[in-house]
Amino acid sequence: MKLPRIHSTTFSSEIMEIFNYLHTHPEVSMEEYHTTAFIKNKLNEWGCRNIKTFGDDPGVIAEIGKGAPIVGIRADMDALWQEVDGTFRANHSCGHDAHMAMVLGTLLYFKKMNIEPKGTIRYLFQPAEEIGQGAKLMLKKGAVNGLDYLFGVHVRPLEETKNGRAAPAILHGASCSITGRIIGEDAHASRPHLGTNAIEVAASLVNELAHIHADPLVPHSVKMTKLQAGGSSANIIPGQAAFALDLRAQTNEVMEQLIEQVKRAVSTIAEFFKVKIKLIVPDYLAAATLNMEAASIMAAAIRDILGEDKCDAPLVTTGGEDFHFYAKQRPELKTTMLGLGCGLAPGLHHPQMAFDRSAMLTGIQILSSALLKAIDAENGRP
Ligand SMILES: [Zn+2]
Ligand SMILES: [Zn+2]
């Protein structure tokens, strides 16, 4: 079924109003309390049922329609903390304000167009994407239980996707931030043999990292991104150092190999220098795996709304995104993220990030269409 187009100016001004509110009330990861309250209010006002919040944790889910299948759509809610025009503050420079406005927009669209889904649509407003915690939290709260499909959306920089075009999947890579501490004894600079210079230990580690190898056909990297050692006294050999490593890989398999090799390199170096090296290896941000069923539904929605020739190939990008935790933990769930071209510049996370806000209206129609197509697919209607 071809969806009716949005022509109403009241619809677009309502969406812009929602976007402006969210844009001017940014909250950082795990502190999205006002954002949660604002969204919950809209979900209530627009007739959602099963509205659930999570006590002390931000985030809210809700449903429309009834029965099977259950198709989900997720928006991330958090802003970044950064310097904007000389002041540090929360700032929506990753476009999560637009994602929330678009996902809410699908609800408003169904309501205004009197479209009743032949199944259930579950809305997931997820906190803490930027710190990689939100999707895991939603999984723990059962937010994706019973879902057949889950869609997400991210605005794309203009060099990736042009305004007026969109991609049916965003193939983010896996990423992992490992932190570590070298724990040894300080010594007088004149007696280096009585201590272990933590800077030399770290330098050896950097060299060792260069010998980590994985399949060259899968893009990957391992590098030290932080090193702190020594104080203001240049005549002390520092026994302690703190460091951080950034790992990237285009597949989860290669990420797991990199983590194992980093652990091995660290224990070899620790053994050689006879120091302790404490590593903290958190859960890594999972890479996307292309789900053909979900991506082809999204591609069909893009072609319906933007035109036959406006659908790009699935987008491969090195950035990370915690949306892919859902599919990693629930492999049976059919997931994809819409990559929306919107003339975004100078770039995601840039304090002055801006985009063509009218592209949100297109995004709303593509997402609405994908939700209905997924329900039809599960009901056996192509
Ligand atoms: Zn971001
Ligand atoms: Zn983002």
The pTM (predicted TM-score) of the whole model is 0.88
Domain stops at, among 253, 280, 307: 280
Distance 77 CA to ligand 2 centre (A): 9
Residues with CB under 5 A from ligand 1 (ion): 94
What one-character-per-residue DSSP string does 291-325 give?
-HHHHHHHHHHHHHHH-GGGBPPPEEESS--TTHH
Domain CATH number, residue 229 = 3.30.70.360
Q: Return the pLDDT at 1.
A: 60
112 and 222: one domain?
A: no
CA of 129 from ligand 1 middle (Å) equals 7
Judge if 14 and 99 occupy the same domain. yes
CA of 136 to the centre of ligand 2 (A): 16
Mean pLDDT score across all residues of the chain: 96
CA–centroid distance, residue 53 to ligand 2 (Å): 22
Among 280, 300, 323, which residue terminates a domain?
A: 280
Please tell me the distance between residue 319's alpha carbon and the centre of ligand 2 in angstroms: 9
* Residue 3 included in any domain: no
Quickly tell me which residue has 């958090």 as its tokens. 78
| pLDDT confidence bin for 5, thresholds 50/70/90 | confident
CA of 196 to the centre of ligand 2 (A): 42
314-354 pLDDT tens trace: 999 988 899 999 999 999 999 999 999 999 999 999 999 99
Given a cut of 90, whether residue 222 has pLDDT beyond it is yes
User: 160's torsion region: left (phi>0), alpha (psi -120 to 50) or beta?
Assistant: alpha
Domain of 255, in residue numbers: 174-280
Q: What is the 95 CA–ligand 2 centroid distance (Å)?
A: 6
Instruction: State the total domains in the chain.
Output: 2
**Strand bridging mode 240-249 / 315-317:** unpaired
DSSP 283: P
Instruction: Find the ligand nearest to 95 CA.
Output: 2
Task: Name the one residue in this structure whose structure tokens are 């770039």.
Answer: 347
Place of tokens 């592209």: 359
Do the domain assignments include residue 1?
no
Ligand nearest to the CA of 126: 2
Cα of 178 vs centre of ligand 1, distance in Å, is 19
**Same domain for 215 and 89?**
no
Q: How far is the CA of 225 from the centre of ligand 2 (A)?
A: 21
CATH code (residue 149)? 3.40.630.10
Q: What is the pLDDT of residues 81-95, one digit of tens each?
A: 999 999 999 999 999
Report whether pLDDT(248) > 70: yes
Confidence band (pLDDT; 50, 70, 90) for 2?
low
**pLDDT for res 382:** 61
Task: Tell me the sheet residues that pair with 236.
Answer: 188
Q: Which ligand sits nearest to residue 153's alpha carbon? A: 2
Residues 181 and 43 in one domain: no
Whether 192 and 86 share a structural domain:
no
Element (H, E) at 365: helix 359-378
Please tell me the distance between residue 55's alpha carbon and the centre of ligand 1 in angstroms.
25
Per-residue pLDDT reduced to its tens digit, 97-122: 999 999 999 999 999 999 999 999 99
Residues 154 and 231 in one domain: no
Per the CB < 8 A criterion, the answer to whether 41 and 55 are in contact is no
